[in-house]
Homo-oligomer: A and B are copies of this chain.
């Protein structure tokens, strides 16, 4: 396992972690101040400053990307299907323009939450079938752009409103069905927050192997969790044995960035430099 204690060269910042503290330009500046080499930006943050300006600023700052957040939200009623497809194609184009190594897919839950305005449904098996069909379609487009897609299994607490792919096994089953040849076009983005609880986790990481492990995200699970979306913890403040998961991922040959993604009302209220200093400290001591 890589030694993170001496530096933070493998730290990437998911820009949602500090999305309240500034726009993407300010976040990039802050990363430069703290010697952070990579980020994973969100589409709305890129849109806010403009795609070309974002790409140029990233290049000028010498920042790499560890992913692009996000594609997905595939589930919808018939009236919203083309919108969802085109939206995802634009995500691929943007990722390409920014030099991202993959597009992270949050696949969507029930259609009324995934694409608001869609007819409400409680049929989660149907949502799952739709997700798989849509990923297959998106893959064709993404393959032409040579842009890998990374399915992110989300915690089962988000099954209704964010993603109906909820375990690493389920995500890998989709990968096997849609890319049995392991071409590199499809893989998973694993975030310890979503998967730490899973009794099958280590076995499924091993099943994924290097070829399917496209991204690795860290934060922590707080007890109690006061808000299921926006009360994620700084690494070390919760109950996840983060290092055991990183060990398993790296045992498969993963050698990419360790991306910090924290949705937290508490951390959004702190100054950006304090957040980044804490991230770096925890990256070295806990991750």
- A residues near B (Cβ < 8 Å) are 110, 113, 122-124, 128, 155-157, 159-161, 164, 166-167, 170, 196-199, 221, 223-225, 228, 238-241
Partner of A160, one of B128, B198, B223: B223
A110 to B238, CA, bound (A): 12
A223 to B114, CA, bound (A): 12
Tell whether, in the assembled complex, residue A239 and residue B160 are in contact, meaning their CB atoms are under 8 Å apart.
yes
- Contacts A166-B197, A197-B166, A223-B113: A241 and B156 contacting too (C-beta < 8 A)? no
Residue of B nearest to A128 (CB): B199
Q: Smallest CB–CB gap between A150 and chain B, Å?
A: 19
Chain B residues with CB under 8 A of A240: 122
Grouping DSSP codes into helix (H, G, I), strand (E, B) and loop, the A interface class, with mixed when no group exceeds half, is loop
Chain B residues with CB under 8 A of A221: 160
Tell whether, in the assembled complex, residue A157 and residue B113 are in contact, meaning their CB atoms are under 8 Å apart.
no
Tell whether, in the assembled complex, residue A110 and residue B161 are in contact, meaning their CB atoms are under 8 Å apart.
no
Partner of A197, one of B123, B159, B198: B159
A157 to B166, CA, bound (A): 12
A197 to B165, CA, bound (A): 9
Residue of B nearest to A199 (CB): B170
Tell whether, in the assembled complex, residue A241 and residue B159 are in contact, meaning their CB atoms are under 8 Å apart.
no
A225 to B229, CA, bound (A): 10
